Structure 1
């Protein structure tokens, strides 16, 4: 009994730790883009990453970075939502759509207009429009693949499937972030800002989803009992 009572407290402390840490990192970057330590961090990483520029790598990077674009995220979201609906996982399908729509499309747009950071004036391999912070690609992939990972953990109890899912999701998220620095369209701190903002939204959304899921399960049980008698 004591262990059962501790679980909600431990979960709450973990959620607060995640929210607090990510918010602190995000605010630390956003409060002064021109701070010496931020500029040093950004330009040292940009210099290192762009040191690998070559035509074959650039061609590959352009293909990979598409996954984190608005069109790429929309396609992936639609495909997985459709799969969930076809398997009658309606609540998960709706959750995926809403999580991406609110957390990526809505929140990222608002944050960009609040901070209005200009894009790097360095070597750009492609042209991008709009503000730089937080990165839409990094925030979008964090929200999308983070949500898919949460759904995977809900639907699968297999440890191996979960491990493969975590490795795949984190790899895609990190690689797409690097492609934005490689292409010269984002500062590394834009990427970090996108990741942290995405994690904050994921934390909030999963708490909301868990509450909705519990209510839905209770309603289903009541409906089953009423129909039975």
Structure 2
């Protein structure tokens, strides 16, 4: 009986993915453990002081625009558009992947907020925002949506530099969204880090599940998804 050849690249990818999940989970747990400690409070205070020192009318309007790109309404619209386009072009599995990754990720964020119940910063915020503070929904949601979208694009196209550039721009956008939440005074910097790490865990997990189900290398362009 012919032995099945081991795909070492795929094996390494899954090992790296699991290692990333473990590392991000450990980072999230470390943040949680430090939430009420003086060290994280000093970190939050120092970062907020640095960010708020650049407050101007023009910068405030810019940050309001950036934070909108990570809001629930906008991400919901973009998710719907992306899913519809994937379905129209018969990329059914990618459409379902984006839909379930974003939707379940949003539910995951809600559960975390309800569990930790951290109050928002006791400062005069530049925008109105209700709900709990940790982890940041904007940071976690944008990390998951834009990350899932980047992964889908990686699956569809072969142009390496275009994919790298697109991923870099999306990473920068996610960073700006997180920064805008601190600038506007509605989140502690530790909320942002919590959102990024929790979002990273969920995104990495969803990618591993998708590639396992599809049984193909995540970097390979496929004719049918």
TM-score, normalised by the number of residues in structure 1: 0.88
Matched residue, 1:13: 15
| CA deviation after TM superposition for structure 1 residue 9, in Å | 4.0
Write the distance in 2 (CA, Å) between the matches of 1:13 and 1:101: 26
Asked whether the 8 Å contact 2:83–2:98 carries over to 1, the reply is: yes
Write the distance in 2 (CA, Å) between the matches of 1:13 and 1:209: 15
**Alpha-carbon displacement from aligned partner over 1:124-146 (angstroms, at most 9, x marks no partner):** 11121111000000000000000
The match for 1:92 among 86, 94, 117 is: 94
| CA deviation after TM superposition for structure 1 residue 8, in Å | 4.3
Matched residue, 1:119: 120
Write the distance in 1 (CA, Å) between the matches of 2:82 and 2:90: 12
**Alpha-carbon displacement from aligned partner over 1:192-219 (angstroms, at most 9, x marks no partner):** 110111111011111111133239xxxx
**Alpha-carbon displacement from aligned partner over 1:151-189 (angstroms, at most 9, x marks no partner):** 111111111211121112101100000000000000111
Gaps of at least 5 residues in structure 1 are: 216-229
User: Cα RMSD over matched residues?
Assistant: 1.7
Matched residue, 1:57: 59
Asked whether the 8 Å contact 2:120–2:132 carries over to 1, the reply is: yes
Matched residue, 2:134: 133
Matched residue, 2:75: 73
Q: Trace 1:1-40 onto structure 2 (pairs within 5 A).
A: 4-40=6-42
Q: Alpha carbons of 1:8 and 1:211: their partners in 2 closer, same or farther (altered >3 Å)?
A: closer
Write the distance in 2 (CA, Å) between the matches of 1:210 and 1:9: 11
Equivalenced residue count is 213
Q: Alpha carbons of 1:95 and 1:7: their partners in 2 closer, same or farther (altered >3 Å)?
A: same
Gaps of at least 5 residues in structure 2 are: 217-225
| CA deviation after TM superposition for structure 1 residue 33, in Å | 1.1
SS in 1 for 2:28: helix
Write the distance in 2 (CA, Å) between the matches of 1:8 and 1:79: 31
Write the distance in 1 (CA, Å) between the matches of 2:70 and 2:108: 16
Matched residue, 2:202: 201
Q: Does 1:102 align with 2:104?
A: yes
SS in 2 for 1:52: coil
SS in 2 for 1:130: coil
TM-score, normalised by the number of residues in structure 2: 0.89
Write the distance in 2 (CA, Å) between the matches of 1:204 and 1:97: 15
| CA deviation after TM superposition for structure 1 residue 16, in Å | 2.5
Larger radius of gyration: 1
